[in-house]
Chains A and B, each alone.
Chain A
């Protein structure tokens, strides 16, 4: 499991790769939280493109970051979620929470493009 965290202004992008299970969850959580704990984060984007496996421990990581961001007044977005992971996210109702802080247009999407992320960071 590897996490590459990039920060641009108040936007944080975490690119996840490998398998997210209970064993990996702690290191994923710590890598992301080390950036969130610096404060002033308005948006966290989790990029799942290279995640090959995720079980409910990954849901815990997502819900935990969602709650942390909510407390800071920030929002969470998921990007490039593979089909094999989409199923468990929908089952747990993740998108109802992730979409909650988005506009009506954005609520229809489950993906955030890199260009959109960069443009928001440059605003």
Chain B
């Protein structure tokens, strides 16, 4: 089923729940398993939290989330910010690497996204912002 959703919201922490709930509701049209739905909720929560905590460093900014589905049951979500960007993406994606250790950040955000989604692509320009693109295949009706 082809569908598309675009949201823009402020980088405030209460929007983390809004974003993951909206993404999961959109994905649910593909009749995913409970586990697939939970995976998308968690991965979206991680990406939006990264944008708030690391991208905008808790300052106000706009986060964009685009979701799409296709006729083969593939869900795609793109989360982008215009925050500080990431200078070394490979390092940032290493499990337990964080630039915010003092705030009890574990550095597991990207590791969770990679474990819970089928694909994760990160594009970032320091000073310009970060875009995270993730996909998840809904398995039941489309195998």
Contacts and interface: CB of A to CB of B under 8 A. Distances in A.
Contacts of B108: 56, 59, 91-92
Contacts of A60: 103-106
B138 interface: no
A21 interface: yes
Given A25-B104, A55-B42, A88 B16 contact: no
Contact of A19 (B17, B46, B104, B111): B17
A21 B106 contact: no
Contacts of B32: none
B38 A22 contact: no
Interface in A28-59: 29, 53, 55-57, 59
Given A23-B17, A56-B49, A56-B112, 6 more contacts: A19-B17, A23-B13, A56-B46, A56-B106, A56-B109, A60-B105
Interface of B: 13-14, 16-17, 20, 35, 38, 41-42, 45-46, 49, 52-53, 103-106, 108-109, 111-112, 115
